[in-house]
Amino acid sequence: MRAMVLKAPRTPLVLEERPDPIPGPGEIRVKIAACAVCRTDLHVVDGDLAPHRAAIVPGHEIVGRIDALGEGVAGLALGDRVGIPWLGHACGTCPYCASGAENLCDAPAFTGWDRDGGFASHVVADAAFAVPLGNLDLDDVAAAPLMCAGLIGWRSLVRAGEGRVLGLYGFGAAAHIVAQIARHQGRRVHAFTRPGDTTAQAFARSLGCASASDAGTPPPEPLDAAIIFAPVGELVPEALKAVRKGGRVVCGGIHMSDIPAFPYALLWQEREVVSVANLTRADARDFLAAARAARPHVATRVYPLEAANAALDDLRAGRLSGAAVLVP
């Protein structure tokens, strides 16, 4: 197999030839068709997230087909199309797992952080955490960003509540998918981008956003809720200024720069700030049902596997509309 390997944080990935991995009990091996590049991958590569394992293969928005089954795997077959998301394993026994909050598991394993991920030609995954994709009417490249950008966007949208006016701060892979889901639900969506990013603003309007402007600009109407996808702590007080009394601000990323001090008056009147951590298998089932109904357009830019560093550079510099996707 071929893999792009992170030898040390803040260094370029290195192409390696490795023996094909062998799935153990309860595992599957997937021949990868596409793997999207997530901002969390960037945080792993750039050292924003502390390394969990040496010489890791990043990537956790994986779509492919099963080409080997470990002992005891049931309900999946050779040739099945599956997705492999960020949550690669949960213990199933801790208080969080027992209460249905496996996203907060005390002993989790994350794809591309604890387990080798999808910047490769093959990956081994826990069969119980693979997402069946046989009934999803999207090709492999378009389906790959759903495995994190879509899933985390969905969990963030659910956490945002039922409000009809929604603000999205940062309009990248996750926001462009969740904006379309929210529009399908009948919500009005206002997008906020890096200052001066007219390309992203035009992209947001093309997907049905009611407005698109620089982050820090007041919205044209009070927001019922806001979701922050950009890893910029300064956006939290900006979003609090924009939401109505009783509104909610959802932080959708795994990493964010420090939130600056802000006046209590921004939080008063029962405004809330909440975070989203990881995802659950129930999120995947619910989100894929919503995606089949809404049929979002997934904007992608395709890179060969060997160009993973270029894809990361483009994401880091904000040069993407939608998602970068690696194809082995």
What is residue 272's DSSP assignment?
E
Residue with tokens 């040739």: 79
CA dihedral (133, 162, 322, 55) in degrees, to 10, reads -60
The enclosing H or E element of 276 equals: none
Average of per-residue pLDDT across 19-23: 96
Same fold, 2-146+279-327 and 151-275: no
pLDDT the model gives residue 162: 95
32-66 pLDDT, tens per residue? 999 999 999 999 999 999 999 999 999 999 999 99
Residue 60: which residues within 8 A CB-CB, separation 6 or more? Answer: 38, 40, 41, 84, 85, 86, 88, 110, 111, 112, 113, 117, 118, 147, 148
**Whole-model pTM?**
0.95
Choose among 112, 130, 128: nearest CA to 120.
112
pLDDT the model gives residue 125: 98
Pairing of strands 61-69, 81-84: antiparallel
Q: What would be the CATH architecture of the domain defined by 151-275? A: 3-Layer(aba) Sandwich (3.40)
> Quick one: pLDDT band at residue 272, thresholds 50, 70, 90?
very high
- How many whole angstroms separate alpha carbon 296 and alpha carbon 142? 10
Task: Answer left, alpha or beta for residue 163, where phi above 0 means left and psi between -120 and 50 means alpha.
Answer: beta
pLDDT the model gives residue 317: 94
How does DSSP assign 28-80, residue by residue? Answer: EEEEEEEEEE-HHHHHHHTTSS--SSTTB----EEEEEEEEE-TT--S--TT-
> Quick one: pLDDT band at residue 292, thresholds 50, 70, 90?
very high
- How many whole angstroms separate alpha carbon 150 and alpha carbon 297? 12
207-263 pLDDT, tens per residue? 999 999 999 999 999 999 999 999 999 999 999 999 999 999 999 999 999 999 999
pLDDT the model gives residue 234: 98
For the 2-146+279-327 domain, the top CATH level (class) is alpha beta
pLDDT the model gives residue 249: 98
Beta bridge pairs of residue 29: 68, 124
Give the residue extent of every domain in the chain: 2-146+279-327, 151-275
